[in-house]
Structure 1
Amino acid sequence: MPRATRLVLVAAFWLVVWQLAALAVGQRLLLPGPAEVGSRFAELAVTAPFWASVAYSLVRILAGFALGTTAGALLAVGAARWRVVDALVSPLVGAVRAAPVVSFIILVLIWVDSSRLAVVVSALMVLPVTYAAVLEGVRQRDPAMLEMAAVFEVPLLRRLPAVDLPAVLPFFAAACQVGIGLAWKSGIAAEVIGLPAGSVGERLYDAKVLLESADVFLWTGVVVALSLVAERVVAALLRRVSSAGSGAAA
């Protein structure tokens, strides 16, 4: 069975389940049906404020993801190179990983403006994942290849695509797949608490306050769709980087 056909059938199955559940509940306030949510989406999708909210949250959460992955990767490289960096950074990373997201949201909201809240919180949530993955990837490099590169004094710019990148990239890619989802979850949660004007989080909060269940489902679906699309785009970019690195090494 073609993949596209399988996806359509799976989607149709869950839409039917959703509709049956809505009929069984019989209260649109508790569980609106897919037709109602789809109608609401068609109504909002042709308006400029809808896309402005999507763009607002998209830019800030992706910025936070990029900041968190960059900072986590750089700290991991430093920790692998210098033990003092590992000793100083590891407790901080562990604290960020263990602390509840809402605690960071409240603390960050004290320090920064609500318009930048999603950027900072998303970066903080992504950083520990990237740090741990990249650090493990650096430590998994082939010792024989590193020794040979040192003996033959291979320049760093040639060693990176030949030895370092192939070892680290699978770990980094896995971290990005996990991190992009964390960035969206934490970023939207930050927006719901901080309520920056024009954000998806603000739309979700307004829908909850006004008891517009269809809008809650709609904006939740938008967040899920954006997260999945972003994950696919990041995965495609990483595959291109991997291919480019393999070509350069050859």
Structure 2
Amino acid sequence: MTLAILFWIAVWQVLSAFLDNSLLVASPLAVLKRIIQLAGTMQFWVSIAVSLGRILEGYAIGAAAGVLFGVLGTKFFPVHLLLSPLMAVIKSAPVTSFIILALVWIKSYELSAFIAFLMVFPMVYSSTVEGIRSADPALLEVAKVYGFSTRKTVKLVYVPALRPFLRSSLSTAVGFAWKAGITGEIFALPKLAIGTMLYNAKIFLETLDVFCWTLVIIGLSLMIEGVVKKLVRSI
């Protein structure tokens, strides 16, 4: 993995040297120096904290709602029937469509959390429904024969069946939530946020800063996904 990363950094350096135009492609060393400079400013850390807070808020609410409505949708068919068209619309429509519509309904600083919620909710909902439905019928019959309580049946039959589905969806959804949330910020342009910094860099033709913020977004995405995966495994 390390060698592969070094290879692409070398390709990046060669391309930068070949073009010899920092407005098109900034060099890796220049980007690293600029990131260090940005890291010395309060605006850099506040923007990161704001984006992380809002997007993770949307992720958490979406995950909780997905599990809750997934359970309700499995237990009560009318709930699943009513939610199915909504899930299909959310999964099929472009993220930008929701962003543009949401800008009419909600405040700009709330948009990234809302978009993150929209990305996470259908994924977790679907995996919850599939996980519960995958419970072994033979084990359910045994639970019924031995008179297990609802709590014991859930703990010994449904939770083990649901666990791998939730692990997968929660781990995958955080990446989608992060990228969609940043995209929402680029459209909404809240006062301080990573998406706003990236947009401003593009508008003022600060290619170096575009590269810097892009690397920050990628780095944070990898970090968040790693942390969430560990938390999901431990839970």
Deviates more, 1:202-211 or 1:23-32: 23-32
Match of 2:225 among 218, 228, 231: 231
**Which residue does the alignment assign to 1:29?**
23
Separation (CA, whole Å) in 1 of partners of 2:128 and 2:21: 48
**Equivalence for 1:190:** 184
Give, in angstroms, the shift of residue 237 of structure 1. 1.0
Equivalent AA in structure 2 for residue 209 of structure 1: I
2:161 corresponding residue in structure 1: 167
The reply to whether residue 81 of structure 1 matches residue 75 of structure 2 is yes
Work out whether residues 112 and 185 of structure 2, in 8 Å CA contact, stay in contact via their aligned partners in 1.
yes
- The count of residues paired between Structure 1 and Structure 2 equals 235
CA RMSD in angstroms, aligned pairs only? 1.2
Counterpart residue type for residue 52 of structure 1 = V
Partners of 2:142 and 2:149 in 1: CA distance: 12
How far off its partner does 1:26 sit? Answer: 2.1
Alignment of 1:202 onto 2:168 = no
How far apart in 2 are the matches of 1:51 and 1:159? Answer: 47
Q: Deviations over 1:113-143 (max 9, x none)?
A: 1111111111011111111112111111111
Kindly, what percent of the aligned residue pairs are identical?
Answer: 41
Specify the code of the residue in structure 2 equivalent to 1:225: G
TM-score (norm 2): 0.96
After TM superposition, the structure 1 = structure 2 runs for residues 67-216 of structure 1, keeping only pairs within 5 Å, are 67-216=61-210
Structure 1 residue 188 displacement after superposition = 0.4
The runs of 5 or more residues in structure 2 that have no matched partner are none
SS across alignment from 1:23:
helix
Q: Distance in 1 between matches of 2:164 and 2:208?
A: 40
Q: Aligned match of 2:60 in 51, 62, 66?
A: 66
Distance 2:145 2:201 in 1: 64
- SS of the aligned residue for 1:32 comes to coil
TM-superposed deviation, 1:11 = 2.4
Residue 194 of structure 1 and its aligned partner are, at CA, apart by: 0.3
Deviation of 1:91 (Å): 0.4
Aligned mates of 1:68, 1:154 — CA distance in 2:
32
Post-superposition offset of 1:23: 1.5
Distance (Å, rounded) in 2 between the aligned partners of 1:189 and 1:80: 33
TM-score, normalised by the number of residues in structure 1: 0.90
Matched AA of 1:156 = T
Match of 1:54 among 48, 55, 58: 48
Q: Which runs of 4 or more aligned residues in structure 1 lie more than 4 Å from their structure 2 counterparts after TM superposition?
A: none
Give the Cα–Cα distance (whole angstroms) in 2 for the partners of residues 81 and 125 of structure 1. 24
Q: How many Å apart are 1:166 and its aligned residue?
A: 1.5
Contact preservation (8 Å) 2:170, 2:232: no
* 1:63 counterpart letter in structure 2: E
Structure 1 spans left out of the alignment, 5+ residues: 1-6, 242-250
